[in-house]
Structure 1
């Protein structure tokens, strides 16, 4: 069976119990499991696919909580290491009435950034698997080099590689370093998901089609551009399809982008799509693929938190039998 392997940060999201308030005014927070790669793995697992996370957390209460949370949603945690050399990362997330967020991170001694490529399991990936990664753990660190090694392993094994930069500028020394690093890693992926803002940030090209075409380099076959409440577009070198999103009452957009790409990867896993047949599948199933991902991400915004807001397979009211 195909399996998703996500690599990157696993952290605690502290969200205010009082919405639409600045962090300086918040007195109480709710603790949730977070981290984009972890969220994506959780989506795939909750939707019935095999998924594992490769990372490192502190040997502390927060690390224990995160591992137990992922176990409860059937994510394979065998590749999560605990260490006393660093601490589990924390993120404080301020919410506004329209569901937007403002982040404050505590990651000076982050355990995940200390994960070394020598800790990677050898020969882990196969041609049936998908490797997914983001950009938060691509800052200069041992973990960045672990990403490079695992991506190389994926290419050698023939695995499909997915990249969602999920840009978080406060975690970088400067914007230029963030942009350059993402543009270095982007050609290593077969499938790339970007928001409209991230596309402009990376390319500085106002025209979307021109911006997208400039990113078809290296291994890139498919680019998906998400537009929040406006839906999403999928591009190949020969195809452009835009699918609108349903209207939802968003109360918390935390993890919505992860819900979207997790839903896409779930479909690819369920259909055993590889780097070889990715474009053909997208040409045939773009509309139902994006429709499902839009609806799944939209549903996640109607609840608080990330993993806790993701629907399990049996909870879906909008399952599309054509692709799932």
Structure 2
């Protein structure tokens, strides 16, 4: 196989506050990193030693050059990334106020990655791919929405493992309920789904009033509802494995027809929780593709997440395999 993983969806320049703990209005400067859930995940996988590629879009602009330069320096395949001349590369601005306030602002009007289409998907030879991953935000607009469904159909036809990072970003949807409609339509084509408790609830949302966002924490809304009922609803749609991320408590693993079990996390004092879930996904995917069982794979994911929350960014701080193995050994092993 040429690619262990191809990931599809958002990519951006991420501007993280240099003034840790400062109110957003008092921020004096920003560090320029890269981001977007699929980009973060493939970076984590690449640093762990997998062969990776990213399917996204960038604009004909300097931000696009910034993103592509990072990917090329990491050794991530960029040939599936079209330049969209009439669109802009995406940007995100983030504040960091530990322990629990992380406001962010998305700049995604006419974002280039939303213009990824069926032809761009067709450029990927699925026979060369072991695992194909998509993020839920790619379902928010056409033509990327249809491209996601097409990609998953092609991946399944080729016997490729399919993974969905549910990835709920409330401000990217004109009607919050439509997020769940799209995710539920896609799940029968998905083998492994990954999401936080809030994202699971969003996927089964009945009323937009269930969603509450404070301090502009778009990536961490409060969503009211019965999470166990929502989990069962998603499992009933046919997904084989559902990984529910529960923060510092670790991960709960749901499988069709089997007992649920929990995988503990690695207790650390977080600096910045943004991107921890993407780091988890990269560690999990690495373990899964090594043929490890789900428990060990999730421990690997938890270790990646725990290391990244100690850092002021995400993709730029993904751990190497050597760093992760050392971290796991120093924190009780698998």
Q: TM-score with structure 1 length normalisation? A: 0.89
Q: Does 1:16 align with 2:17?
A: yes
Task: Look up the match of 2:217.
Answer: none
- Comparing 215-224 with 292-301, which one deviates more in the overlay? 215-224
Q: Secondary structure at the match of 2:55?
A: strand
Distance 2:100 2:39 in 1: 21
Q: Does 1:287 align with 2:295?
A: yes
Task: Look up the match of 1:52.
Answer: 53
What pairs up with 1:219-258 in 2 under 5 angstroms?
A: 219-237=238-256, 238-258=258-278
Task: Look up the match of 1:113.
Answer: 114
- Comparing 114-123 with 217-226, which one deviates more in the overlay? 114-123
Distance 1:101 1:184 in 2: 31
The alignment's C-alpha RMSD in Å is 2.2
Q: Does 1:312 align with 2:331?
A: no
Task: Look up the match of 1:260.
Answer: 280
Contact 1:5 1:54 in 2 (8 A): yes
Shift of 1:70: 1.2
Q: What is the CA deviation profile of residues 211-237 of structure 1, one whole-angstrom value per residue up to 9, with x for unaligned ones?
A: 322212454100011111111111112
Q: Does 1:102 align with 2:94?
A: no
CA shift in 2, pair 1:53/1:128, >3 Å: closer
Task: Look up the match of 1:74.
Answer: 75
Q: Secondary structure at the match of 1:166?
A: coil
Q: Secondary structure at the match of 2:235?
A: coil
Distance 1:301 1:145 in 2: 34
User: Among residues 208, 227, 230, which one is paired with 1:211 in the alignment?
Assistant: 230
Task: Specify every segment of 5 or more residues in structure 2 that has no aligned partner in the other structure, as ranges.
Answer: 206-223
Q: Secondary structure at the match of 2:28?
A: coil
User: Among residues 291, 302, 311, which one is paired with 2:310 in the alignment?
Assistant: 302
Q: Secondary structure at the match of 1:223?
A: strand
Task: Specify every segment of 5 or more residues in structure 1 that has no aligned partner in the other structure, as ranges.
Answer: 272-280
Contact 1:55 1:112 in 2 (8 A): yes
